[in-house]
Amino acid sequence: MQPKIGFLGLGIMGAAMAGNLVKAGLPVTVYNRTPEKAAALVAAGARLAATPLSLAEETDILLAMVTGPEALDALLWGEQGAAGGFSAAKTFINMSSVPPRYTLNLAEELAPLEVTFIDAPVSGTKKPAEEGKLVILAGGDRDKIAALAPIFQVLGQKVVYCGPVGQGSMMKMAINLLLGVMMTGLAESLNFAQKNGLAPEALLEVIAAGAMNCGLFQMKKEMLLTADYPPNFPLKHMTKDLKFIIDTAYDSGAPVPAAHAVLQLFRAGVGFRLGDEDFAAVYKVLEHMNSRE
Amino acid sequence: MQPKIGFLGLGIMGAAMAGNLVKAGLPVTVYNRTPEKAAALVAAGARLAATPLSLAEETDILLAMVTGPEALDALLWGEQGAAGGFSAAKTFINMSSVPPRYTLNLAEELAPLEVTFIDAPVSGTKKPAEEGKLVILAGGDRDKIAALAPIFQVLGQKVVYCGPVGQGSMMKMAINLLLGVMMTGLAESLNFAQKNGLAPEALLEVIAAGAMNCGLFQMKKEMLLTADYPPNFPLKHMTKDLKFIIDTAYDSGAPVPAAHAVLQLFRAGVGFRLGDEDFAAVYKVLEHMNSRE
Amino acid sequence: MQPKIGFLGLGIMGAAMAGNLVKAGLPVTVYNRTPEKAAALVAAGARLAATPLSLAEETDILLAMVTGPEALDALLWGEQGAAGGFSAAKTFINMSSVPPRYTLNLAEELAPLEVTFIDAPVSGTKKPAEEGKLVILAGGDRDKIAALAPIFQVLGQKVVYCGPVGQGSMMKMAINLLLGVMMTGLAESLNFAQKNGLAPEALLEVIAAGAMNCGLFQMKKEMLLTADYPPNFPLKHMTKDLKFIIDTAYDSGAPVPAAHAVLQLFRAGVGFRLGDEDFAAVYKVLEHMNSRE
Amino acid sequence: MQPKIGFLGLGIMGAAMAGNLVKAGLPVTVYNRTPEKAAALVAAGARLAATPLSLAEETDILLAMVTGPEALDALLWGEQGAAGGFSAAKTFINMSSVPPRYTLNLAEELAPLEVTFIDAPVSGTKKPAEEGKLVILAGGDRDKIAALAPIFQVLGQKVVYCGPVGQGSMMKMAINLLLGVMMTGLAESLNFAQKNGLAPEALLEVIAAGAMNCGLFQMKKEMLLTADYPPNFPLKHMTKDLKFIIDTAYDSGAPVPAAHAVLQLFRAGVGFRLGDEDFAAVYKVLEHMNSRE
């Protein structure tokens, strides 16, 4: 019998992912704090749970995709929290981006409930989520992860096994480190070009024609040229992730000087009230700091 | 009548570029300080000039691809220097990576000689040079650049017009800023991953499957996994370019905090005697600074 | 009747501070995990408690000076922990350097025990501790802090009221931020001077004769000139404090780019196995990173 | 017979220094591009030269205190420039802050004129200049420097011999590196304190009572508390000096990560139009970057 799937969190990412599960014909029940966000999914065939607890009780495999530790804690351990419905028969897959240390703590807290816990954040933002082309960074029992293939294949093009629980979150940190640094590199390069009299289109053309061309830069090109930054991955979330990365790097003794420099720009961006724009708006942070003589 | 082409400088890049011109059947004469490096080209059909001066006298269009301002100055203005052979009938194309300010000075110094001066550094390192897939960043008279298409098409897949003389060099700075930051981002991410228990292959697989995948990372993958860094683009040259970039950024008022952080790593790399390895060896700089508790 | 004083922690700082209390004729009982360190104090007239709990039970005012949150937690809440002896009749003064957030949590944990809790870290390292010239950074009830003057006057030349509990720790962070940056500034200046052919003595003479002269630089002069760094304030503790500072700065939205740069040097210093040397050994971190061409 | 003294440049520093020479009864002739600035000195007994050339012709020992290389070049080599009046019988003392490399070039350019060239920048800003308490950082022939004691003693409390010509400028770089880092450390600490609820007066009181207390912090206290930054040492000059320092550090292989971080703040300060305020206004740069959530 096909397992029933629960989905917690219907933000930019969650809505796209749950939508793909519904489209694939899987039996999906969803929960979101603001139920309005579930309307389209319900119209498409999803069931709506009234509380995280009822979601957990009514389903076999619960996926969560929320903004971070606080949101996840509230949904798991708050009033009518999902954890109340966990048992040895169930699987809980956290796909939210959280620090590895948080994941390890969560694993300890979940242990007495005997629920199978999989740590599976994703690489990719809005568009890959919508297209089912996420890369899934899975930590936990290798066989159990393999058994989840039917679900993961709907959400993503690839599952990479990262190690025991916590290492999925760790991989996500490593990836977001690179993401933050690359985006800032593009922003510094473009701002440098403009301040020195080069056409931004010319720079982007040169980049696109060379070895640094990548999907990320193609995706951000329009934002940079139109100065309009609708959030695929909000700047404030990248800021939060970079702080986790700095912390983890510090603990492990890995030097990350570029990430430090990048974090400071994103932090300033939150200060400049750019937190809800896409993280490509780090370009606006640089513009703000330009000398205007 | 087909113009005669002269080529100054047969290092990693120059040898590959001159080789493509010869292969394309163009009449090429070369000069290199150490003439042994010309042997393969001569065997393939190139003529060898005894001095930069005779190279300039015997050819119509002179291309230079050397390591920077000092080398170029020596070849142009030194004893038996090429500039002695310049005239209104000739074209000099500098493809070496030099600071924009140097290019502007050079343009002034060349003005009395009436030679057509084109500023045309390239995006791409060893492999694209060998494959004729460089991107040519051209600064100077737009019509004259267009007229050079037969030559540029042999060397590269694309010519991007960047503006007046100096702006080719400027574009190269903007590109190398991004190159240095991206490479460092990859190095920080990989080192972070390793120090935190992730398999480097798994990280590279995740990157390759996502929006950050690019030719650069594919090219450097083997170096990073084997810890062997034969120089396509030597670390010391990237260091020198980053210093030019910092200087230009300072003058123009563009903030480049990531580039500052990256320069300091590369500078340390020169100190750690990694200057002659590929610039991907910035990974070894990080390893050197790892906490070893 | 004179209150009985208990002292927890006899490291570099604690031993000096407890010693001054004994010398001042106050009734002092001490506890240290390794009781050998108490020998000199006992010889001078202090009593020795067998456990933190008995120390708390036998005294009225308990002072703690340990290396950070972990050590303090162990002494308070561990087996035979001091907190078991707290009551409304007692006062607990934490003089250890801990993050403000930790102090606030501790205040909440102590609230049910009704003990008066004062947050009073100090500015000053070994020498001012020995000479009773510390500056006491007091957070908590203003009247209760005023009433502790007889004790604080023995330990320091000055008590600065910083605000409610937690703000003493906060002031300590602000002071150590400056301390870390100043020490690094001196180290960079001295290393820069030496790499550029200036005599270190000449630089220190110029500094001593000008507006930047201060006790700190006088104290560190000998270490820098002899390259021998016995720990007054170990580099690993400054590293830990700088991490707290970065974290607090991040949370409050205060940019601290110099502190970020400084933290990375100290972190590398721990990696270079300099953690147990004085924090002035940041100079050796720079030397290690010098280019050696 | 007493040598006649010429003084080039009557800015904040120069006016104070020339004033002290006049007060000491020495025969002083001055030149300034805007002669109005000489009025008070002329009233006090100085002569006024019409051009740099006539100043050099009419005096034996020429001192220059201007804003940097460009200003000095104009006065020496421009129309009616002072260099035209130099000869073996004369001494030229540059007290302006310039890069060591510039000083070495200048020494070469002056060599054919046979003038004795002394490189003597100063440590200290407006107040020490007014009080004759500068520290003079002398590079050049040791005996000739010793012979200039009667003049140097009027200007400063101390002459430190730094080595051959160029090393005075080098010492000045080392000192200003520390100055820029310390000022930024104070600014970061104060801004951190304020964003975290501490009173700025309390922080400054703690600093003043401890080992970091120094004349610099006392001098800047009022500026920081009143947010009014009349220029003793303009922020734009510190910015320029920090760029020289970074360049010199790069060339010598000395890592200066704190100076890099500090330069970026000062550069942003120039962009925020704070260049003409005192360099303590780096505090305002931080405030500008504060998160305002």
H-type helices in C59-161, by residue range? 69-77, 100-110, 126-130, 142-147, 149-155
Q: List the single residue in C with minimal CA-CA distance to B270.
A: C291
Residues of A designated as active site: 172
B chain contacts of residue C286, beta-carbon cutoff 8 Å: none
Rounded-to-integer distance, Cα A143 and Cα B83, Å: 71
CB contact under 8 A, A253 and C270: yes
The torsion angles phi and psi of D123, rounded to 5 degrees, stand at -100, 130
Q: Among the options D90, D126, D127, D172, which is catalytic? A: D172
Q: Beta strand pairing status for B116-119 and B47-48?
A: unpaired
pLDDT in tens, chain C (293 residues): 689 999 999 999 999 999 999 999 999 999 998 889 999 999 999 999 999 999 999 999 999 999 889 999 999 999 999 999 999 999 999 999 999 999 999 999 999 999 999 999 999 988 999 999 999 999 999 999 999 999 999 999 899 999 999 999 999 999 999 999 999 999 999 999 999 999 999 999 999 999 999 999 999 999 999 999 999 999 999 999 999 999 999 999 999 999 999 999 999 999 999 999 999 999 999 998 887 65
Residue B173 has pLDDT above 70, yes or no: yes
Residues 242-261 of A with CB under 8 A from D: 257
- What's the confidence (pLDDT) of residue A1? 66
Residues 261-280 of D with CB under 8 A from B: 261, 264, 267-268, 270-271
Q: Does the active-site annotation cover C240?
A: no
DSSP state of D275: T
- What's the confidence (pLDDT) of residue D2? 86
Q: Beta strand pairing status for B5-8 and B61-64?
A: parallel
CB contact under 8 A, C250 and A243: yes
- What's the confidence (pLDDT) of residue B27? 96
Q: List the single residue in D with minimal CA-CA distance to A290.
A: D271
Residue A168 has pLDDT above 70, yes or no: yes
CB B153 within 8 A of CB B120: no
Give the nearest partner residue to A271 out of D257, D267, D291, using CB atoms: D291
Residue B196 has pLDDT above 90, yes or no: yes
Nearest-CA neighbor of D81 among D105, D43, D40, D113? D113
Tens of pLDDT, residues A261-280: 999 999 999 999 999 999 99
Rounded-to-integer distance, Cα D134 and Cα D129, Å: 6
| Radius of gyration over every alpha carbon of chain A, rounded to an integer in angstroms | 20
Q: Residue B51 in 3-state DSSP?
A: coil
Q: Which of C153, C198, C244 to mutate to test the interface with D (most CBs of D within 10 A)?
A: C198
Q: What does the pLDDT average to over D220-227? A: 97
CB contact under 8 A, B181 and A184: yes
Residue located via tokens 């030679």: B115
Residue D293 has pLDDT above 60, yes or no: no
Give the nearest partner residue to C291 out of B267, B291, B292, using CB atoms: B267
Burial of B211 (0-12, 13-18, 19+ CB in 10 A): buried
Helix (H) or strand (E) holding C135: strand C134-139
**Mean pLDDT, chain B, as a whole number?**
95
Domains in chain D (CATH in brackets) are: 5-164 (3.40.50.720), 171-289 (1.10.1040.10)
Nearest-CA neighbor of D49 among D17, D19, D82? D82
- What's the confidence (pLDDT) of residue D96? 94
Residues 111-150 of A with CB under 8 A from B: 123-125, 128, 135, 137
Contacts by B242-246, CB closer than 8 A, 24 or more apart:
B242/B176, B242/B177, B242/B180, B242/B266, B243/D250, B244/B98, B244/B99, B244/B173, B245/A192, B245/B173, B245/B176, B245/B177, B245/B180, B246/D246
Rounded-to-integer distance, Cα A210 and Cα B37, Å: 28
ipTM: 0.94
Q: Would you place residue A284 in the very low, low, confident or very high pLDDT band (cuts 50, 70, 90)?
A: very high
Rounded-to-integer distance, Cα B230 and Cα B211, Å: 27
- Strand ranges in chain D using DSSP code E only, listed in sequence order: 5-8, 28-31, 47-48, 61-64, 91-94, 116-119, 122-123, 134-139, 156-163
Q: List the single residue in C with minimal CA-CA distance to A272.
A: C253
The CA distance from C286 to the nearest CA of chain D, in Å, is 6
- What's the confidence (pLDDT) of residue C2? 86
Would an 8 Å CB–CB cutoff place B292 in contact with chain C? yes
- What's the confidence (pLDDT) of residue C293? 52
Residue A292 has pLDDT above 70, yes or no: no
Tens of pLDDT, residues D3-37: 999 999 999 999 999 999 999 999 999 999 888 99
B chain contacts of residue C291, beta-carbon cutoff 8 Å: 267-268, 270-271
Rounded-to-integer distance, Cα C240 and Cα D108, Å: 50
The CA distance from B224 to the nearest CA of chain D, in Å, is 26
- What's the confidence (pLDDT) of residue A169? 96
The CA distance from D271 to the nearest CA of chain C, in Å, is 17
- What's the confidence (pLDDT) of residue B292? 62
Rounded-to-integer distance, Cα D153 and Cα D120, Å: 13
- What's the confidence (pLDDT) of residue A293? 52
A chain contacts of residue C268, beta-carbon cutoff 8 Å: 255
- What's the confidence (pLDDT) of residue D125? 86
Rounded-to-integer distance, Cα C272 and Cα B291, Å: 7
- What's the confidence (pLDDT) of residue C291? 73
H-type helices in chain A, by residue range? 12-23, 39-43, 52-58, 69-77, 100-110, 126-130, 142-147, 149-155, 167-195, 200-208, 215-226, 235-252, 257-271, 282-289
Burial of C78 (0-12, 13-18, 19+ CB in 10 A): middle
Residue B2 has pLDDT above 90, yes or no: no
Residue A74 has pLDDT above 70, yes or no: yes
Phi-psi region of A220 (alpha: psi -120 to 50; beta: other; left: phi over 0): alpha
Helix (H) or strand (E) holding B8: strand B5-8
- What's the confidence (pLDDT) of residue B193? 98
Q: Which of B155, B175, B198 to mutate to test the interface with A (most CBs of A within 10 A)?
A: B198
Q: In sequence order, what are the beta bridge partners of B91? A: B61, B116
Rounded-to-integer distance, Cα A260 and Cα D53, Å: 53
**Mean pLDDT, chain A, as a whole number?**
95
CB C160 within 8 A of CB C47: no
- What's the confidence (pLDDT) of residue D292? 62
Q: List the single residue in D with minimal CA-CA distance to A257.
A: D257
The torsion angles phi and psi of C163, rounded to 5 degrees, stand at 125, -165
Q: How much of chain A, in percent, has pLDDT values that exceed 70?
A: 99
Q: Would you place residue A291 in the very low, low, confident or very high pLDDT band (cuts 50, 70, 90)?
A: confident
